[in-house]
Amino acid sequence: MILVIKKNSEKRQLDNLISWIKKLGLKINLSTGENSTVLGIVGDTSLVDIDLIRSLDIVESVKRISEPYKKANRKFHPENTIVSVGDAKFGGPHFSVIAGPCSVESEEQIISIAKSVKASGATAIRGGAFKPRTSPYAFQGLRADGIRLLLIAREETKLPIVTEIMSVTHLDLFRDIDIVQVGARNMQNFELLKELGRINKPILLKRGLANTIEEWLMSAEYIMAEGNEQIILCERGIRTFEHYTRNTLDLSAIPLMKELTHLPVIVDPSHASGLSRLVEPLSLAATGVGSDGLIIEVHNNPEKALCDGPQCIRPTQFDTLMKRINVILPLTGKNNIV
Ligand code: PEP
Ligand code: MN
């Protein structure tokens, strides 16, 4: 971290700053020029609150030269992390597709969709039991009963289950869930992230609606700092000025994230666009830029879906999509999925 000190600052203030930084266990290289004084701070600068330093009277500017995330950083862990549950493997040469409805609606619905997506090559089932809806009057999910139905679908298909947690108070209900999803709206629910860092199951961490790549990685760091290193990151579109799509899929985040972190990164083309007809082109594009997998909303009757019908594709469309993804996969160095 580099600090430029304002010209004519009092020596006493500079000494105070230096001794405070040293107390954090960091080393300082001081360079006093004719026009400015520069402090180079060396060590684990993740301990330093950059905004606090920036606000000090004597500080002209601050620049971080090393990233504040350590455990998620590829610099300190060059090999790809592979997260696997059953046949669902994410990272390295592996590409997996998670598919299912936005919400679990009934036993027949989840079992029928689960069986069809399995037949097309999906290796994990998604389905919301607790739904983060904008309106308190909208369908909130079947909650505990939804979890029970997901476990029946797992029994029927032998595929692992992915579902979203919204509160630490529900952790007990998630005991038998295979992959716990943290939705976009909870990406910075730090107390939830810390709790999930203490459990031994993969976490699917979605990018927040308006969060930077660095904030997203810092959320992964929260989970990893508590000991859980099985994280799958998911780009699901960010909010921009554009209204023709529900969100804007940040495709450039995928190859960039692969440079910055060793964790697997997948894409959700359904929430990214909000439009079923864009799911296929965005899935193919995501595969092409090196995504480690996809999470796709599939419904057997999208017109009647209780949540996100307009973005759900049908099982037959999903089947065609899987075959097309398979054609692209070898070009990106990934194993085939069907
Ligand atoms: C979901 O996957 O059902 C969901 C609510 O997604 P997001 O958190 O990305 O909006
Ligand atoms: Mn949804």
Is residue 102 within 6 Å of ligand 1 at its C-beta?
A: yes
* Amino acid 29: pLDDT: 85
CATH number at residue 47: 3.30.70.1140
Which residue lies with its CA nearest to atom 9 of ligand 1?
184
Tell me: do 95 and 43 sit in the same domain.
no
Answer yes or no: is 76 within a domain.
no
- d(CA 338, CA 318) in angstroms, rounded, equals 12
Average pLDDT over residues 210-223: 98
Report, in angstroms and rounded to the nearest whole number, the Rg of the chain calculated over CA atoms: 23
Amino acid at 81: T
Tell me: do 225 and 158 sit in the same domain.
yes
* Residue that finishes a domain, picked among 30, 63, 96: 63
Amino acid at 104: V
Is residue 183 within 6 Å of ligand 1 at its C-beta?
A: yes
Residue from 245, 268, 273, 279 to probe ligand 1 pocket by mutation (most atoms less than 8 Å from CB):
268
Tell me: do 254 and 291 sit in the same domain.
yes
Q: What is the pTM of this model?
A: 0.91
Q: In the numeric block, which tokens belong to residue 144? A: 């505990």
Answer yes or no: is 73 within a domain.
no
Q: In the numeric block, which tokens belong to residue 8? A: 């004519």
Return the ligand number nearest the Cα of 274. 2
Greatest mean pLDDT among 22-31, 60-69, 244-253 lies in 244-253
Tell me: do 52 and 100 sit in the same domain.
no
pLDDT at 78 over 90: yes
* Amino acid 288: pLDDT: 98
Average pLDDT over residues 256-275: 98
Tell me: do 219 and 322 sit in the same domain.
yes
- d(CA 82, CA 179) in angstroms, rounded, equals 14
Tell me: do 276 and 195 sit in the same domain.
yes
* Residue percentage of the chain with pLDDT more than 90: 91
* Amino acid 46: pLDDT: 83
Answer yes or no: is 151 within a domain.
yes
The 8-class DSSP code of residue 305 comes to -
Average pLDDT over residues 197-223: 98
CA of 101 to the centre of ligand 2 (A): 8
- Per-residue model confidence as pLDDT tens digits over 146-155: 999 999 999 9
Tell me: do 23 and 104 sit in the same domain.
no
Answer yes or no: is 263 within a domain.
yes
* Amino acid 33: pLDDT: 81
* Residue 233, domain extent: 83-332
Short-list 219, 305, 306, 313, CA closest to 273: 313
* Atom of ligand 1 at shortest range from CA of 295: 2
CATH number at residue 223: 3.20.20.70
- Per-residue model confidence as pLDDT tens digits over 266-282: 999 999 999 999 999 99
Answer yes or no: is 74 within a domain.
no
Tell me: do 153 and 211 sit in the same domain.
yes
Is residue 258 within 6 Å of ligand 1 at its C-beta?
A: no
Answer yes or no: is 315 within a domain.
yes
Q: Apex CA 228: angle with CA 222 and CA 230, to 5°?
A: 105
Q: How far apart are the first and last CA of the chain?
A: 48
Average pLDDT over residues 45-60: 91
Domain count, the chain: 2
Residue from 98, 102, 306 to probe ligand 1 pocket by mutation (most atoms less than 8 Å from CB):
102
Tell me: do 131 and 183 sit in the same domain.
yes
Is residue 128 within 6 Å of ligand 1 at its C-beta?
A: yes
Answer yes or no: is 31 within a domain.
yes
Tell me: do 169 and 54 sit in the same domain.
no
Answer yes or no: is 313 within a domain.
yes
CA of 103 to the centre of ligand 1 (A): 10
| CA pseudo-torsion sign 175, 178, 179, 181 | negative
Is residue 262 within 6 Å of ligand 1 at its C-beta?
A: no
* Amino acid 66: pLDDT: 85
Tell me: do 98 and 168 sit in the same domain.
yes
Short-list 331, 279, 264, 338, CA closest to 80: 264
Average pLDDT over residues 226-232: 98
- Per-residue model confidence as pLDDT tens digits over 217-226: 999 999 999 9
